[in-house]
Each structure stands twice: as C-alpha cells, then as structure tokens.
Amino acid sequence: MMAQKKKRDSWGSRLGIIMAVAGSAIGLGNFLRFPAKAAANGGGAFMIPYFISLLLLGIPLMWIEWTLGRYGGGFEHGTAPGIFHSLWQKNRFIKYFGVIGIFGPLVIFIYYIFIESWTLAYSFFALTGRYTTLLDQHSLRSFLIGFQGLEKNQYFNSIGTAYTFFLITFLLNVWVIFYGIKGGIEKLCKWAMPLLFIFGLVLMIRVFTLGVPDLSRPGWNVSAGFGFLWNPDFSALKSAKVWLEAAGQIFFTLSVGIGVILTYASYLKKADDVVLSGLTASVTNEVAEVILGASIIIPAAFVFFGPVDIKLIAQSGVFNLGFVTMPLVLNKLPWPQLFGFFWFFLLFLAGITSSVSLAQPAVAFLEDEFNINRKRAVSIFGIVSFILCQPAIFFLGRGVVDELDFWGGTFFLVVFATIETILFAWVFGMDKAWEEIHQGADMAIPKVYKFIIKYITPLFLFIILGMWFAQEWLPIIMMKNVSGVNKPFIFCTRLGLLLVFIILAVLVKIAWRRRKLNRGG
C-alpha cells in the first residue's frame, strides 16, 4: 500500500500570497542594486531596456511560474523536479533539470542570510549610536570592514559581533519557516511589507525635503540628484552590456527564474487566480524599486557629494552604497539614530521576507517528495544550510560570496528561466498553457502575450545566454579575473557547489524510486 500523504499547507488569503510573493521579490536589490545599476548604465536610458525586459521577460515569467506552480501543486509537487515531471511525464530526465529550482535558492540563501544579518546589526548600531558620530567615508568603511571581520581595527577586534547577529538572523528565519506557509511566511509578510513601505515613504519624504547643505554649491540639490539618475544618455542603448544589465535586474528584482514562485504557487487551489495576483505582486515590487528605491540613496548622496563624486559612489558597489554612503548622509542630518534605524530596518524587512522564500523550496522538497513532517524537514534544512553558510562568513574577503552569487543568483537563474519557458510554451503547449493560466482568472491577459510567451520570451532568454557565453564564459571558467591568492578558495567553492548539486540530483532519484515502489506496492 502507498504511504498516506499528509495534507499540504495552504495560504490563508489572496492578500497573503500576494504579500509573500512581493516580499520574496522586494529585497536588498530594490534599494541598493537598482539605483546603482541605473546610475551607472545611462541613467534614464537604462529604464528603456529595463521596462522592455519587464514587459517581455519579467511579467511573462511571473505568469509562467505562478501557473506552473499551481499546476504542479495539483499533483502534490511543490518544487521544480516534480512540477517539471508533471508537465513532461514521458521524459525521465526532465526532473533533474528541476534540481536547479532547489539548488539556486539554497545557494543564494547561504550567503544572503549573512548580508541580511548586517542590516539587523546596523539597525541596532543606529539606535545605540554606535556609528552615528562617524562623519567621513574612511571611518564608516573601516567600521564596516571591521564588523565583517576582514580586519581588526578600533571598532571591532574580531568577527564575533557579526557572527552573533548572523546567529540571531538565522534563527529568526528558521523560526518563521518552522511555522509554515500560513502560520509563518504569510504572517511575517502581512506585517513586514506595510511596515517596509511606511519606512520607505518616510525616508523618501525626508530626502525630498533636504535643503542645500552648502550655499556655495547651488547645483547640489535633490532635483539635480534625480536628474543624474533619470536624465537619459541614449548612447548607452548601443551597448549590449546595458541591455544585459537591465534584463538581469528584472530577474533579480522579481525573483523569477529561481524556483521560489513555483513553490509558493504550488500551495494555491486550482480555482485561485494567478493572472491578477501575479500582476499585483509584480506591480508592488516595481513601486518599491522604481519609486522608493530610486528616490532615496542616489538623490540623497548627490546633495552631499555633488556631480563628480556621485559617479564613483554609484559604481562603488551595493555594500558601500548601503553601509557607507547612506549612513554618512544620514549622520549629517538631524536625528541620525532614528533615520539610520529606519534605513537599516527597512533593508532587514526586505531581506528576511526574501530569505524565508529562498528556504521554502528545499523544505517543500523534503515534505512533498519524502513525505516527512514540517518539523523534521525544517530541522534538516536548518542543520545543512547552517553548515553551508560558514564559507560565506569566514571567507568573505576571498571572493566566495561573489562566486556563490554568480552561480546561484545569475547564471542558473537565466538557465532555469529558459528551461521552464520552453517546457511551458512548447512541451506543455501554448494553447493548453493559455487555458491553464486563465483558470479562475479575474482578468484576461492581452492575447499578444500568447505570442510573446511562446516566441519573444524564449528568444530573449536565448539571446541573453548566447551573449553571455560569447563574452563571459571562458574568462569565468578559467578564473581570469580572480587573484592568485583567491583561486584555491574559488576552486573549492565550485567543487562544493557541484557536490551539493549532485546530492540534490541523487535525492530526486531516490524520491522517484520510492514513489515507484509505493505505487507498485
């Protein structure tokens, strides 16, 4: 006899699933990565390929993933291996391509959680005034590097403080995940997302009301800061790099191509709407990114650093933007402790609503394919992921986080999106897929999207992959841009990632063998 299946978890409300998917999408990238990418890639011109990518890649992939997830959930599959198998049952290898949908989120989780813990630490530091008296970039950079454990200095003499906040953040994530979809993730997102938007609006209003700190520099103002960010340099549109950056930002910001939305949508009922819900989650994310994300850090920095230094600041990387430049700006304003807390707790809320979503595919895989209870699944995930987090913490200065981010958050993300689009539009079939999307829908998708999803989206993805292989593949594989001292760490990271992928593939094989035996029994 087949083992009795336990009842799968479910969402409590439509608002809950929308907030959860929006929470997964709204992360550190909305407030740090997006303004930096826009400013460094042609300003307002960047938004042309950005919105084209949103319409031709982001929204179609969002609908594809919501639909595939709901479809797979009907077969009691909550992760990509099972969902892909449900779509193409005659192909016994397709489930192994779905391993990417567990592997990718896990890889991102094991470094993202450490970065997320910095935002919680800095929230505490802001309230206690630990860094609010530092008024130059060098001091704040030294504070950050000391905190990260990259050097011993007057601010920190070990990584102990950072590790303590990592433990707190890790345990908070496990605690939320432990309580499941409705009792944990949905509850978190229902209060975290409104609070995030309140903090974001407060900071945006504060930036809008910034005066000119130095009357001898009248051009250093907020409107000029917005001009720097939004005035288009149309010559940038000739660069393939700008188009790739824009498409990459859409992937990054909407959390498509990762596997998280597949898992979230698998807890929907057959009649639950995916068209309007998917679109609402996308719009919520875009409001956070394009309106709030673009209205805080770059315009504020422009007021204090002017048109020359702002270019260097925009290109200085997201860590410097978030943990050096923005605190420096806020430290020069009244109430730096309060606004510093608003900034970093906003980032923490964005981070934790994303990180719990990254954990869910692995937990769902253990629950659905091995029929084990939530408590045991979360315990297994917690132990394994905790061990896997350690290299990102202790070898941060050796390029390990960048390496994890490339494979988990860039390369496999595009590969996975390409696979699921082909499966959805060509293997499942566009007519059948179109009917499946509209099951229980409150609105009809414009018919032009039937053509876009079948032809334009996969073509766009193949172009991105083709250009990447042509321009980047060999230097990355050969570690051309990696310093000699870091190469052993990068090589070991790649071996570790390969081992994790193989273990996940073996677990998929075991799960399907058990299913077959149970059916036969």
CA atoms of 407 and 493, how far apart (whole Å): 10
Angle ∠(355,358,364) on CA atoms, nearest 5:
130
* Whole-number pLDDT of residue 216: 65
- The pTM for the full model equals 0.94
**What are the start-end ranges of the E strands in 211-259?**
none
* Interval 133-183: pLDDT, tens: 999 999 999 999 999 999 999 999 999 999 999 999 999 999 999 999 999
* Whole-number pLDDT of residue 344: 97
DSSP for residue 43: B
Angle ∠(338,343,125) on CA atoms, nearest 5:
60
In a structure prediction context, what are the per-residue pLDDT tens digits for the chain, which is 521 residues long?
A: 444 556 788 899 999 999 999 999 999 889 988 888 888 787 788 889 999 999 999 999 999 999 999 999 999 999 999 999 999 999 989 999 999 999 999 999 999 999 999 999 999 999 999 999 999 999 999 999 999 999 999 999 999 999 999 999 999 999 999 999 999 999 999 999 999 999 999 999 999 888 666 666 777 888 888 888 888 888 888 877 788 788 888 988 898 999 999 999 999 999 999 999 999 999 999 999 999 988 898 888 888 888 778 778 877 777 888 999 999 999 988 999 999 999 999 999 999 999 999 999 999 999 999 999 999 999 999 999 999 999 999 999 999 999 998 898 888 888 999 999 999 999 999 999 999 999 999 999 999 999 999 999 999 999 888 888 887 788 888 888 889 999 999 999 999 999 999 999 999 999 999 888 877 64
* Whole-number pLDDT of residue 314: 76
| Domain regions of the chain by residue span | 14-23+59-202+258-290+327-520
Gap between the terminal Cα atoms of the chain: 5
Which of helix, strand or coil describes residue 188? helix
Contact 274, 60 (CB under 8 A): no
CA atoms of 53 and 47, how far apart (whole Å): 9
* Whole-number pLDDT of residue 521: 45
Residue 444 has, within 13 A of its CA and on its CB side, a CA count of: 5
One-letter amino acid of 90: K
Residue 442 has, within 13 A of its CA and on its CB side, a CA count of: 9
Contact 289, 53 (CB under 8 A): no
Beta-carbon contacts of residue 76 (< 8 Å; ≥ 6 apart) = 5, 8, 82, 368
* Whole-number pLDDT of residue 473: 82
CA atoms of 327 and 121, how far apart (whole Å): 13
* Whole-number pLDDT of residue 303: 85
Show the DSSP H helices in 326-437 as ranges. 326-331, 336-370, 374-394, 400-406, 412-422, 430-437
Contact 415, 76 (CB under 8 A): no
CA atoms of 82 and 91, how far apart (whole Å): 12
| Tokens, residue 351 | 């981070």
String of DSSP letters for 442-508: SSPPPTHHHHIIIIIHHHHHHHHHHHHHHHTHHHHHTTTTS-TTTHHHHHHHHHHHHHHHHHHHHHH
CA atoms of 379 and 189, how far apart (whole Å): 22
Angle ∠(33,472,38) on CA atoms, nearest 5:
25
* Interval 433-458: pLDDT, tens: 999 999 999 999 999 999 999 999 99
Q: How many Cβ atoms from other residues are within 10 Å of residue 231's Cβ? A: 12
Sign of CA dihedral 30, 33, 34, 35: positive
